[in-house]
Structure 1
């Protein structure tokens, strides 16, 4: 397989691990717990382009990630979206939202510049997510 992560995702995110279908990434923005699933399939920009089996697998991974993030971060709401206007490679955002976060109730896109994690905070975030997702992670 010649799957390549889009350069913008490589630039903006930190890889947490791999699931059966997707790479699990953490957006490097400490304002929101924000993960991204990227199905490891070439030249796919829309969910309907995946095989029916991959569509089902992506849905399962997305639901698991959403539930996990909502529980570990005590979310008021989960924002889940596949926008793809800036990055054409299919990727699904999973953003923990709180009624008191900076952007509420608006979407997070374009509201504020990202605030990258500090080294210690980044390590803690990755550890928390890896531990919570350990049963699904394959590496």
Structure 2
């Protein structure tokens, strides 16, 4: 599997957490939401159908298992999983835990309000919490 180079916008808007069997896990630098982005570690992929069938299944497995763990641990009311790619063409999947009390509920997280970047303590806490969740998934990290 290739060691991918992140799109500049993904690199600027996120911080890394870990690598799963298929995807790199990044946290969107917006403390208003528990929001990770999964990026398959394949060069020059922009669409899910460009992945092999087994990698498509692995992508969905990683997104749903991590999303379920995040939703449960972080008291989510709804889990949003989406692969849009209209602004950043590099294939990536958003996994966002939503709460009825969050900053933009029930509207989408995209384009609503200004991001609230994590401070150093919050960034470390989110990374540590996600690493603990990831280690409990049994995804052969």
The TM-score bracket by the shorter chain reads over 0.9
1:63 corresponds in structure 2 to 64
Query: Does the CA-based 8 Å contact 1:28-1:114 persist in structure 2?
Result: yes
Supply the distance in 2 between the matched residues of 1:114 and 1:43 (Cα, whole angstroms): 28
Query: Does the CA-based 8 Å contact 2:66-2:133 persist in structure 1?
Result: no
Q: CA deviation at 1:137?
A: 6.5
* Root mean square deviation, CA, Å: 1.1
Q: CA deviation at 1:66?
A: 0.9
Query: Does the CA-based 8 Å contact 2:44-2:90 persist in structure 1?
Result: yes
Supply the distance in 2 between the matched residues of 1:62 and 1:84 (Cα, whole angstroms): 16
4+ residue runs over 6 A deviation: none
Query: Does the CA-based 8 Å contact 2:39-2:92 persist in structure 1?
Result: yes
Stretches of structure 2 that go unaligned for 5 or more consecutive residues are: none
Supply the distance in 2 between the matched residues of 1:2 and 1:37 (Cα, whole angstroms): 14
Show CA shifts across 1:43-102 (max 9, x none).
111111111111011111111111111111010001111010110000000111011212
For the structure 1 residues 120 and 2, does the alpha-carbon distance in structure 2 shift closer, same or farther, using more than 3 Å as the test? closer
Structure-1-length-normalised TM-score: 0.95
Show CA shifts across 1:80-125 (max 9, x none).
1101011000000011101121211110100011110011111111
Q: CA deviation at 1:136?
A: 3.3
Stretches of structure 1 that go unaligned for 5 or more consecutive residues are: none
Supply the distance in 1 between the matched residues of 2:61 and 2:76 (Cα, whole angstroms): 19
Query: Does the CA-based 8 Å contact 1:17-1:137 persist in structure 2?
Result: no
Structure-2-length-normalised TM-score: 0.94
1:44 corresponds in structure 2 to 45
**Alignment length, in residue pairs?**
138
Secondary structure of the corresponding residue to residue 89 of structure 2: coil
